[in-house]
Amino acid sequence: MTTISNAINAYSALSKAVSGEGMSISGMTQSTDATQSIGNDFASVLEKTARDSVSTMRKAETDSAAAIAGKADIREVVQAVTNAELTLQTVVNVRDKVISAYNDIIHLPV
């Protein structure tokens, strides 16, 4: 099964491989510094998003447990669970897009 971490690792490996010589696109060559900064920024954005997603899920879980104990307002629980559901749908869609892009790259002729 392909996971987000596998896709991130593949992207990181590709970024490192490309940064050794620069990347040629239609006769234009990017510098290695530009390639590395793009890779680092992309990885950090993904990492921050993953952390935020986990945080949202944990908040929904905590609020649900508090509701079961009778210590939370039902509106807050519904809002937290709805946010968690939306976050999960977003993560799944992003994962699907990353996997699709990875498969497209794998099938490119060399």
CB 96 within 8 A of CB 7: no
pLDDT of 79: 94
pTM summary value: 0.57
pLDDT of residue 51: 92
pLDDT reported for residue 78: 93
The predicted pLDDT at position 96 comes to 96
Domain boundaries, position 75: 4-106
- What domain count does the chain have? 1
**pLDDT, block means (10 residues), the chain with 110 residues:** 63 56 41 51 85 93 92 92 94 94 92
Query: Residue 28: its pLDDT value, please?
Result: 38
Cα separation, 90 vs 87, whole angstroms: 5
Task: Annotate 45-64 with three-state secondary structure.
Answer: HHHHHHHHHHHHHHHHHHHH
pLDDT at 44: 87
Distance between CA atoms of residues 40 and 58, nearest Å: 27
